[in-house]
Amino acid sequence: MVCTPVKRKSAIYRQHFPRRHNKGLVEAKNEIQSRELRMNKVQRWEIIGIFIIVGFGTTLHFWFEWTDYWRPIALIAAVNESTWEHFKMAFWPGLIYALIEYPFLKDETNNFFIAKFAGLFAMPVITTILFYGYTSLTGTHLLWADVIVFILSVIGGQWISLTILTKTEKMQPSTQNFAIAGLVIMVLAFSLLSYYPLNNLLFTHPETGEIGILSDYDHDHGH
């Protein structure tokens, strides 16, 4: 039987197209699985970060007292009970954890610095909203409520970070540059403003009305 050109073409098509089709399906499946593994890795890092930031941050509340009020440690440790000083308890552990994360996640994500800036910026914003929200309703601040506010702010910041880290599309270089600049500004602010505090509500120690490093640390100052 003579095989016509049309039949030969049809036979070739049946022979090769399924292979190409199956190969494409396998590659797509592998890509999906690879992405799921990467995203699970990122998710684990961000969830673990919640516990590390909360744990490390909680200790920063006491470092200034533990070091007998050693002024250099005021760079990262809370020096009074003002809202600003409590911001530091999330920022410095969050920044240090981000630096630890970077070599492990930089090749797994597209927007690392944007995610970290957004998360670290969100933590004090969430703290401010929740703290002044509940104190305006109760007329006072409660230790257990302050702890919950701190934990929720860290969870919120890490969730925002995770959301951006798991985006498939890469954001604009200008956005990344803005994020890096924002991180630098935050580092400078948290490094300097305990020593040179602004005279406003965020920096005011609630029991004495003082700002920054207090003139005297006794039991009445609550630190």
Residue 211: strand, helix, or coil: strand
**Would you say residue 16 lies in a domain?**
no
Q: Is residue 2 part of a domain?
A: no
69: in domain: yes
User: Percent of the chain, pLDDT > 70?
Assistant: 80
210 found inside a domain? yes
In a domain? residue 151? yes
Cα dist from 19 to 10, 25, 32, 126, 164, whole Å: 15, 10, 20, 54, 37
> Is 58 inside a domain boundary?
yes
The reply to whether 4 falls in a domain is no
CA atoms within 13 A on the CB side of 11: 6
Count of structural domains within the chain: 1
7 domain-assigned: no
Q: Are 162 and 122 in contact (CB under 8 A)?
A: no
Chunked in runs of 10, what are the mean pLDDT values of the chain (223 residues)? 54 54 61 71 95 96 92 92 93 97 90 96 96 89 90 97 89 91 96 91 83 68 47
Q: What is the CA radius of gyration of the chain?
A: 26
Residue 91 sits in which domain range? 37-221
